[in-house]
Structure 1
Amino acid sequence: MLQKRHVFLLLLVLMPLVWSGSLFASQEDASALVKRTADRMLTTLEARRGEAERNPSLIYGMIESIAAPHFDFERITQGAVGQYWRQATPAQQRQLVDGFKQVLVRTYARSLLSYSGQEIRYLPAKPGSRPNRVTVPTEVREAGAAPIPVDYRMFDNGSGWKVYDVVINNASLVGNYRSSFANEIRQNGIDGLIAKLDEMNRKGQE
């Protein structure tokens, strides 16, 4: 898995949650939107940190209601499963999306609780590879360590911007999982990966 993964996943939680205006306006304002949203998330967490540490499900609810609607979990899962996605039945595809979403949400919740004041630098947004895509670069700074570059890749599907990948030090979330998912599928098939995701989520509840 990726180094600094806890920071990687924490920042994914702190992505902009609401986007508006034209593509060019969104590109121009993206960094400010990211910062405002991150500040709001962290302020909320600090106000309820004691409750959340005693009952992590409070954070799950926060992510589900605020952040999750702005991630395209089907696109993220499809990218992570790669070439094997077309071999899965519609029912299997839904199980993969549901299972992977739960894994990510639980990991985000744990990472959010581990936040301890690292500085986040927000850089100007850049056009993506297509007209409906944009990349927001940021840096995570911690005393005594080199800045960690994190790029957020988003697309506009006609109803607003959604996250479809995150890249840290040139390593993508989707690409990272694609390797481990492919190994699991080669060994145990699509149902084996579904079972593995279920196992990860069961352990996360313990």
Structure 2
Amino acid sequence: MISRRPVLLAALGLLASLAVPFVSPARADTGAEASAFVTHLADGAMQAMVGKGVSDQERASRFRTLFTTDVDLADIGRRVLGRYWRQANPDQQKEFLQLFEDVVVLTWSTRFKDYGGDLHHVITGTIDDGDRGVTVSSRVDRERQAPVNLQWRLKRTEGGFRVVDLIVEGTSMAVTYQSEYASVIRASGDRIDGLLSALRAKVAELRTPPAP
């Protein structure tokens, strides 16, 4: 009589192997590539913003290069304006995207220019969202200050990944701007020109050197 024990053990072994979560090489590669992309972008941004002996103009120029290369400005701009994007004509859309770029670049390139401590960026996880892209979680450790938790929402393109949103401590950059700009448009009688005028004033303010 043939013992059934080896067959039973083999079957149990097969079931056990099937119970182990399977991570496809493609998904593993995507996570690694997304992490590398975010690491490169974050390190470059921190160097541009925190570097010593760099003029405000040069710092803004460096950050603008990073921002326009690795961030999908058009995608974010459409989401920030929401239904108002469809109401805007092509010239208004073009001007909005340029002003929005100026606001983000001038705001973030100068916010940390006087920070003297060390910054250390650490990737803490990735989630493959399928067709929606990849979300990379990370943390910025700061000397004598609480760390900052980030989530980078990326989309895949033929040329690689691009950022479509940045979530800082649970607050979405795109959603925040969307709420602020929608309020300005409503206060202007639902006119896009009201927002454009406000953004022109904001950019002029950001470009004005602080009083000595």
TM-score range, shorter chain: 0.7 to 0.9
Q: What is the CA distance between 1:114 and its match in structure 2?
A: 3.9
Does structure 2 conserve the Cα–Cα contact (< 8 Å) formed by 1:60 and 1:106? yes
Which structure 1 residue ranges, 4+ long, deviate > 6 Å from structure 2? none
Per-residue CA deviation, residues 117-171 of structure 1 (Å, 9 max, x unaligned), is 233321232212x335111101233466554321000101323211110112322
Matches within 5 A, 1:115-134: 115=115, 116-128=117-129, 130-131=130-131, 133-134=133-134
Q: Which residue of 2 aligns with 1:98?
A: 98
Ranges in structure 2 where 5+ consecutive residues have no aligned partner: 1-25
CA distance in 1, matches of 2:65, 2:92: 25
Bigger drift between 135-144 and 34-43 goes to 34-43
Ranges in structure 1 where 5+ consecutive residues have no aligned partner: 1-21
Q: Which residue of 2 aligns with 1:187?
A: 187
Does structure 1 conserve the Cα–Cα contact (< 8 Å) formed by 2:72 and 2:162? yes
Q: What is the CA distance between 1:43 and its match in structure 2?
A: 5.3
Does structure 1 conserve the Cα–Cα contact (< 8 Å) formed by 2:80 and 2:178? yes
Question: CA, structure 1 residues 66+167, in 2 after alignment: closer, same or farther (shift >3 Å)?
Answer: closer
Of the two structures, which has the highest relative contact order with CA contacts closer than 8 Å and spacing of 6 or more? 1
**How high is the TM-score relative to the length of structure 2?**
0.74
Q: Which amino acid aligns with 1:124?
A: G
Q: What is the CA distance between 1:70 and its match in structure 2?
A: 1.5
Matches within 5 A, 1:169-188: 169-188=169-188
Bigger drift between 131-140 and 114-123 goes to 114-123
Does structure 2 conserve the Cα–Cα contact (< 8 Å) formed by 1:96 and 1:194? yes
Larger Rg computed on CA atoms:
2
Does structure 1 conserve the Cα–Cα contact (< 8 Å) formed by 2:121 and 2:141? yes
Question: CA, structure 1 residues 150+38, in 2 after alignment: closer, same or farther (shift >3 Å)?
Answer: closer
**How high is the TM-score relative to the length of structure 1?**
0.76
Paired residues, number? 180
RMSD between aligned residues: 2.5
Q: Which amino acid aligns with 1:96?
A: F
Structure 2 residue 31 is the aligned partner of structure 1 residue 30: no
CA distance in 1, matches of 2:36, 2:89: 41
Per-residue CA deviation, residues 11-54 of structure 1 (Å, 9 max, x unaligned), is xxxxxxxxxxx7752322433443355445555777x621x2xx
